[in-house]
Amino acid sequence: MPDTIWTNIFRTPRDNQAQIAELWQATPLFAGIPEREVRELAGNMHLRRFGEGEVVFREGDQAAGAILVFEGQVEILADTRRLALLERGDFFGEIALAENDQRTATARCREETRLVFFLKQDLEEWIEVAPRLGNRFLMNLASVLARRLHEANLLLARHCPE
């Protein structure tokens, strides 16, 4: 049994940490970031459990970070219309890593779900200790946001051609 006074009982259990790192590394956000580094970061991320139908955030809520689906399904809604259905390994809300702004849609769990929060605070702390890798991550984030913008533009052009 671990000694609760002297051992660090607050760490994310190692098997979860490895899985979280693996999932993040498969996303374009962590392209080119060494596995050891992602694993270290994953140790400080926040794994949380949500019930079926529970709202992760509502449109207009203040945003603190990006979220990865670790287990289960999350639907993204604008009013009552479903914009996307996200599953294990998908991430959303990454705009919050660039800007602590309000959420632009509502996210709701379709079933028992576990989500990993990568907060802007964690990102800033990481950038302070690993500026070069942090820079790489920010370039990745910029590409992801640019691609989302590009797709939004295409969608807009398709729906309003004039």
State the Cα–Cα distance between residues 107 and 63, nearest whole angstrom.
Answer: 12
Least distance (Å) between residue 6 CB and another protein: 10
State the Cα–Cα distance between residues 71 and 16, nearest whole angstrom.
Answer: 11
Four-point Cα dihedral 82, 87, 90, 95, nearest 10 = 30
Asked if 119 touches another protein (CB under 8 A), the answer is yes
Q: Half-sphere exposure (CA, 13 Å, Cβ side) for 4?
A: 0
Interface of this chain with another protein, residues 59 to 98, rule: CB under 8 A = 59-65
Least distance (Å) between residue 40 CB and another protein: 9
Asked if 28 touches another protein (CB under 8 A), the answer is no
- How many residues touch another protein (CB under 8 A)? 28
For another protein, the binding residues (CB under 8 A) are 8, 10-11, 44, 46, 48, 50, 54-65, 100, 102, 117, 119-121, 128-130
